[in-house]
Structure 1
């Protein structure tokens, strides 16, 4: 959406770019903000460059830019746009899209906290019942990768507001989830459902608190795979990321071990949590740096819009 005085510039920009197909202009149909509506199918490889150019016209402030992924486009023009755009679609990163996704997933809100509480409770139950399957379920439910990816994104793009917001989600979210888990474990113990002392005999889930160099290596690999999945829109790979890192299970183990009076295991579990968080952020940031350099091929980047 753009004001009428900017429509010609926007249309010329889209028409001249080889990565654009199916350009449509609706005059005077936009109500809020008032103006014209311009639609175009854009090859993913060209999307980042085109969005930056449109932001350069100020359309993210005076109008609005909306992106939607198209699954299928049967057209010679679309095929020509994909062939003309540099690179491969799977390798292209749409930075504004990624910034929007990570920004949304980094917020500390009721939904994020609820998922984290449920994940920690599942982890605690898995530890108490010596059930690796339940622990894996807790890994999948845990929502912590969103803020971790946002922190990596903020560090690479120097978006400190994003780093602060995502950091708050983790710093506030985990203690609240662990406090709720503590209440649950204490209630279960008082009701005779759980016996925290059994963790000394439960060896199937010992991997949760056994921290070492391998823990950091796994966190690095998981962080790299997770960011690759986010930047290439291959979200199915994120499930594998979730079940490969010991973040939420470690938080749950800290609580159970503390209730059982096993402070050594509680300490190791806490260290496991911190090692995994740090490894994921580090690897995700490295992937972003490498992909950014490759996509822009040494061309100086303009600052991303904050719109």
Structure 2
């Protein structure tokens, strides 16, 4: 169940209420005349079955509500309502599977913003990965994977392609490229300092590393794992119940590959650089493809369910 909180301009309030009253996915409506000060108008709330939210939000957008007012979309963690239960039963699909596209797109923009927090996490994760390689520590590699924030903009690439948000695609691409560039350059500089201090040598990279050798040795499984992990990650982003992003982070070798690239450049071990760069490219491409494909399937499924909803409204007794 979702709650919509709408700041409706005075000239649109009636039309907003008509949209809400006419939809069987809406189980409760509240209105405070004059409750919106900016813009001047009414404050309207509605309880909506998650499965039917997209169509309602789209109709409110076509009315022009976002241009002059605002639509807030809040999940309702706990609710007790027979009308709410009936609204969910009437609406095709299930709440856990429903994709609320406005929410997904908003989170994609947020996760793709290039800011100091993103760059800091990227740099710290890459540094941790470089230390993990020197120590051949799988535990530290896992920690670096979890710390890395790169899945957000990778998932945003799929959202951008499916929803045709080309500005989001450019933003996510820019954030990924600059994020990895800043992280690798920072880790390379600190690796050079560590080499000058005598803390690391090229032997730390070229010696047998049973715990971290997979980082610079991509194969068919690298791509397959990236596909599966990204599909699970996208489902975590779009679903109301699943939360498996940590599983994605510890499955793909993006941040560890960046750390190995930095070490290879600092120590002049170029085979490590090329192998890790290929590993990074394989993982990112696999994640992007899987994210796009998963979202495309979800959009196709929910488009068909929307057609069923429209038919049900047109022929309620059929």
Give the TM-score range, shorter chain.
over 0.9
Report the CA distance between 1:258 and its aligned residue.
2.3
Secondary structure of the equivalent of 2:38?
Answer: coil
1:16 alignment partner, one of 22, 27, 31 = 22
Report the CA distance between 1:299 and its aligned residue.
6.6
The separation in 2 between residues aligned to 1:248 and 1:235, in whole angstroms, is 24
Tell me if structure 2 keeps the 8 A contact 1:128–1:195.
no
User: Does residue 288 of the first structure (1) align with residue 295 of the second (2)?
Assistant: yes
Tell me if structure 1 keeps the 8 A contact 2:55–2:306.
no
Report the CA distance between 1:234 and its aligned residue.
4.0
The separation in 2 between residues aligned to 1:191 and 1:240, in whole angstroms, is 37
**Partner of residue 249, structure 1:** 256
1:29 alignment partner, one of 35, 43, 50 = 35
Tell me if structure 1 keeps the 8 A contact 2:184–2:259.
yes
Gaps of at least 5 residues in structure 2 are: 1-6, 308-318
2:53 alignment partner, one of 47, 56, 74 = 47
The separation in 2 between residues aligned to 1:230 and 1:135, in whole angstroms, is 24
Gaps of at least 5 residues in structure 1 are: 301-307
The separation in 1 between residues aligned to 2:183 and 2:272, in whole angstroms, is 19
User: Does residue 113 of the first structure (1) align with residue 97 of the second (2)?
Assistant: no
Instruction: From the superposition, tell whether residues 299 and 73 of structure 1 become closer, same or farther in structure 2 (CA, over 3 Å).
Output: closer
The separation in 1 between residues aligned to 2:242 and 2:146, in whole angstroms, is 13
Tell me if structure 2 keeps the 8 A contact 1:245–1:276.
yes
The separation in 2 between residues aligned to 1:177 and 1:214, in whole angstroms, is 26
Report the CA distance between 1:189 and its aligned residue.
2.5
Report the CA distance between 1:233 and its aligned residue.
3.4
2:237 alignment partner, one of 230, 247, 260 = 230
Q: How does 1:27-176 map to 2 (within 5 A)?
A: 27-176=33-182
User: Does residue 203 of the first structure (1) align with residue 210 of the second (2)?
Assistant: yes
Report the CA distance between 1:190 and its aligned residue.
2.6
- Alignment length (residue pairs): 300
Task: Tell me how large the CA RMSD over aligned residues is.
Answer: 1.4
Higher strand share: 2
The separation in 2 between residues aligned to 1:126 and 1:236, in whole angstroms, is 27
**Partner of residue 224, structure 2:** 217
Query: For each residue in 1:41-77, what CA deviation from the matched residue of structure 2 results, as whole angstroms up to 9, or x when unmatched?
Result: 1111011111111111110112110101110111111
The separation in 2 between residues aligned to 1:142 and 1:175, in whole angstroms, is 14
TM-score in terms of structure 2 length: 0.91
